[in-house]
Amino acid sequence: MSEDRILTTISFLAKYAQQQREHYFAAGRPLNASDRTTMQPFFSAALLSRVRIVEMAGRQIEEPPFYPEARARGVQLPQVNHMSSITFVDALVFTEGVKIRDLFHALVHATQFEIFGLAGYIDLYVRAFFKVNRTILVPLEAHAFELDTRFSANSADIFSVEGEVWRWIREGRYGLRSHAGTVTQS
Ligand SMILES: [Zn+2]
Protein backbone atom coordinates (compact mmCIF):
# COMPACT_ATOMS: atom_id res chain seq x y z
CA MET A 1 0.00 0.00 0.00
CA SER A 2 1.60 3.28 -1.12
CA GLU A 3 1.72 6.26 1.22
CA ASP A 4 -0.33 8.22 -1.35
CA ARG A 5 -3.10 5.66 -1.29
CA ILE A 6 -3.04 5.54 2.53
CA LEU A 7 -3.33 9.33 2.73
CA THR A 8 -6.18 9.37 0.19
CA THR A 9 -8.06 6.71 2.16
CA ILE A 10 -7.52 8.62 5.41
CA SER A 11 -8.77 11.84 3.89
CA PHE A 12 -11.88 10.21 2.34
CA LEU A 13 -12.72 8.35 5.56
CA ALA A 14 -12.20 11.44 7.73
CA LYS A 15 -14.60 13.40 5.52
CA TYR A 16 -17.14 10.58 5.63
CA ALA A 17 -16.84 10.28 9.45
CA GLN A 18 -17.32 14.03 9.88
CA GLN A 19 -20.45 14.02 7.69
CA GLN A 20 -21.88 11.00 9.50
CA ARG A 21 -21.12 12.64 12.84
CA GLU A 22 -23.07 15.80 11.92
CA HIS A 23 -25.98 13.75 10.62
CA TYR A 24 -26.30 11.36 13.55
CA PHE A 25 -25.44 13.88 16.28
CA ALA A 26 -28.36 16.08 15.17
CA ALA A 27 -30.71 13.08 15.19
CA GLY A 28 -29.50 11.62 18.49
CA ARG A 29 -30.78 11.68 22.07
CA PRO A 30 -28.71 12.16 25.24
CA LEU A 31 -27.82 9.16 27.42
CA ASN A 32 -30.73 8.13 29.64
CA ALA A 33 -30.37 8.52 33.41
CA SER A 34 -29.88 4.83 34.13
CA ASP A 35 -27.11 4.33 31.52
CA ARG A 36 -25.48 7.51 32.67
CA THR A 37 -25.35 6.24 36.27
CA THR A 38 -23.85 2.92 35.11
CA MET A 39 -21.16 4.65 33.02
CA GLN A 40 -20.32 7.48 35.44
CA PRO A 41 -17.45 5.70 37.28
CA PHE A 42 -15.62 4.93 34.02
CA PHE A 43 -16.00 8.03 31.83
CA SER A 44 -15.71 11.80 32.23
CA ALA A 45 -18.93 13.64 33.07
CA ALA A 46 -18.32 16.02 30.14
CA LEU A 47 -18.16 13.13 27.67
CA LEU A 48 -21.30 11.49 29.09
CA SER A 49 -23.17 14.80 28.76
CA ARG A 50 -22.02 15.41 25.22
CA VAL A 51 -22.59 12.05 23.49
CA ARG A 52 -25.76 11.40 21.48
CA ILE A 53 -27.37 7.99 20.95
CA VAL A 54 -29.04 6.90 17.74
CA GLU A 55 -31.00 3.65 17.41
CA MET A 56 -31.29 2.47 13.82
CA ALA A 57 -33.99 -0.15 14.44
CA GLY A 58 -32.64 -2.52 11.80
CA ARG A 59 -31.56 0.07 9.22
CA GLN A 60 -27.94 -0.23 8.05
CA ILE A 61 -25.32 2.44 8.39
CA GLU A 62 -24.52 3.95 5.03
CA GLU A 63 -21.26 2.71 3.53
CA PRO A 64 -18.66 5.32 2.54
CA PRO A 65 -19.30 6.28 -1.11
CA PHE A 66 -15.82 5.23 -2.28
CA TYR A 67 -16.03 1.68 -0.87
CA PRO A 68 -17.53 -0.09 -3.91
CA GLU A 69 -14.82 1.33 -6.15
CA ALA A 70 -12.05 0.32 -3.70
CA ARG A 71 -13.49 -3.21 -3.50
CA ALA A 72 -13.50 -3.41 -7.30
CA ARG A 73 -9.79 -2.58 -7.24
CA GLY A 74 -9.25 -5.35 -4.69
CA VAL A 75 -8.53 -2.98 -1.78
CA GLN A 76 -9.99 -4.20 1.48
CA LEU A 77 -11.19 -1.49 3.87
CA PRO A 78 -12.60 -1.63 7.41
CA GLN A 79 -16.25 -2.65 7.32
CA VAL A 80 -18.67 -0.05 8.65
CA ASN A 81 -22.05 -1.66 8.07
CA HIS A 82 -23.19 -4.98 9.55
CA MET A 83 -21.85 -3.87 12.92
CA SER A 84 -23.94 -3.69 16.08
CA SER A 85 -22.61 -0.22 16.79
CA ILE A 86 -20.41 2.43 15.26
CA THR A 87 -19.03 5.60 16.79
CA PHE A 88 -18.57 8.84 14.88
CA VAL A 89 -16.73 11.05 17.38
CA ASP A 90 -19.51 11.72 19.94
CA ALA A 91 -22.42 10.23 17.95
CA LEU A 92 -23.00 6.61 18.99
CA VAL A 93 -25.06 4.64 16.47
CA PHE A 94 -26.61 1.26 17.32
CA THR A 95 -28.18 -1.01 14.74
CA GLU A 96 -29.94 -3.48 17.08
CA GLY A 97 -30.88 -1.73 20.31
CA VAL A 98 -28.50 -0.37 22.93
CA LYS A 99 -26.95 -3.23 24.89
CA ILE A 100 -24.97 -2.06 27.90
CA ARG A 101 -21.72 -3.71 26.80
CA ASP A 102 -22.00 -2.23 23.29
CA LEU A 103 -22.64 1.16 24.87
CA PHE A 104 -19.47 0.80 26.97
CA HIS A 105 -17.52 -0.16 23.83
CA ALA A 106 -18.84 2.85 21.90
CA LEU A 107 -17.96 5.18 24.80
CA VAL A 108 -14.37 3.85 24.72
CA HIS A 109 -14.20 4.88 21.05
CA ALA A 110 -15.71 8.29 21.91
CA THR A 111 -12.93 8.71 24.50
CA GLN A 112 -10.30 7.77 21.90
CA PHE A 113 -11.82 10.26 19.44
CA GLU A 114 -11.69 12.94 22.13
CA ILE A 115 -8.00 12.32 22.79
CA PHE A 116 -6.73 11.80 19.23
CA GLY A 117 -9.19 14.09 17.42
CA LEU A 118 -11.09 12.85 14.37
CA ALA A 119 -8.15 13.09 11.98
CA GLY A 120 -5.73 11.43 14.41
CA TYR A 121 -8.16 8.60 15.17
CA ILE A 122 -8.83 7.87 11.48
CA ASP A 123 -5.10 8.01 10.73
CA LEU A 124 -4.27 5.45 13.43
CA TYR A 125 -7.22 3.25 12.44
CA VAL A 126 -6.46 3.14 8.71
CA ARG A 127 -2.70 2.62 9.05
CA ALA A 128 -3.20 -0.21 11.54
CA PHE A 129 -5.94 -1.76 9.41
CA PHE A 130 -3.72 -1.87 6.33
CA LYS A 131 -1.06 -3.66 8.41
CA VAL A 132 -3.25 -6.28 10.09
CA ASN A 133 -6.21 -6.47 7.67
CA ARG A 134 -8.69 -7.34 10.39
CA THR A 135 -10.77 -4.80 12.26
CA ILE A 136 -10.50 -6.70 15.54
CA LEU A 137 -6.68 -6.51 15.45
CA VAL A 138 -6.60 -2.73 15.01
CA PRO A 139 -5.31 -1.52 18.41
CA LEU A 140 -8.10 1.09 18.79
CA GLU A 141 -10.57 -1.82 18.46
CA ALA A 142 -8.58 -4.36 20.46
CA HIS A 143 -8.44 -1.90 23.36
CA ALA A 144 -12.18 -1.20 23.23
CA PHE A 145 -12.88 -4.95 23.25
CA GLU A 146 -10.45 -5.52 26.13
CA LEU A 147 -12.09 -2.80 28.23
CA ASP A 148 -15.70 -3.80 27.44
CA THR A 149 -14.79 -7.38 28.39
CA ARG A 150 -13.33 -6.17 31.69
CA PHE A 151 -16.43 -4.08 32.40
CA SER A 152 -18.76 -6.91 31.47
CA ALA A 153 -16.89 -9.45 33.65
CA ASN A 154 -17.19 -7.27 36.76
CA SER A 155 -18.79 -3.82 36.62
CA ALA A 156 -17.72 -3.24 40.24
CA ASP A 157 -14.09 -3.19 39.06
CA ILE A 158 -13.86 0.58 38.56
CA PHE A 159 -11.24 2.12 36.26
CA SER A 160 -10.86 5.31 34.24
CA VAL A 161 -11.14 4.64 30.50
CA GLU A 162 -9.37 7.94 29.80
CA GLY A 163 -6.53 6.79 32.07
CA GLU A 164 -6.34 3.46 30.22
CA VAL A 165 -6.18 5.20 26.83
CA TRP A 166 -3.36 7.45 28.04
CA ARG A 167 -1.54 4.40 29.41
CA TRP A 168 -1.71 2.72 25.97
CA ILE A 169 -0.44 5.92 24.34
CA ARG A 170 2.51 6.06 26.75
CA GLU A 171 3.27 2.39 26.09
CA GLY A 172 3.09 2.96 22.30
CA ARG A 173 0.34 0.37 21.95
CA TYR A 174 -1.93 2.21 19.49
CA GLY A 175 0.47 1.38 16.71
CA LEU A 176 2.50 4.46 15.99
CA ARG A 177 4.88 5.78 18.59
CA SER A 178 5.67 8.82 16.46
CA HIS A 179 1.99 9.71 16.25
CA ALA A 180 1.33 9.07 19.93
CA GLY A 181 4.21 11.44 20.67
CA THR A 182 2.33 14.30 19.06
CA VAL A 183 -0.52 14.01 21.56
CA THR A 184 0.03 15.74 24.88
CA GLN A 185 -1.92 14.88 27.98
CA SER A 186 -3.81 17.91 29.28
ZN1 LIG B 1 -15.26 -0.92 18.11
Decide if 185 is inside a domain: no
State the pairing for strand pair 52-55/85-88: unpaired
Decide if 100 is inside a domain: yes
d(CA 91, CA 97): 15
- Ion ligand 1: residues, CB within 5 A, are 141, 144
pLDDT along the chain (186 residues), means of 10: 88 94 97 97 98 91 84 81 86 93 97 97 92 89 96 96 96 70 52
pLDDT of residue 65: 82
Cα 109 to ligand 1 centre (Å): 7
Decide if 72 is inside a domain: yes
Decide if 128 is inside a domain: yes
Residue span of the structural domain in which 102 resides: 3-180
- Total number of domains constituting the chain: 1
Cα 144 to ligand 1 centre (Å): 6
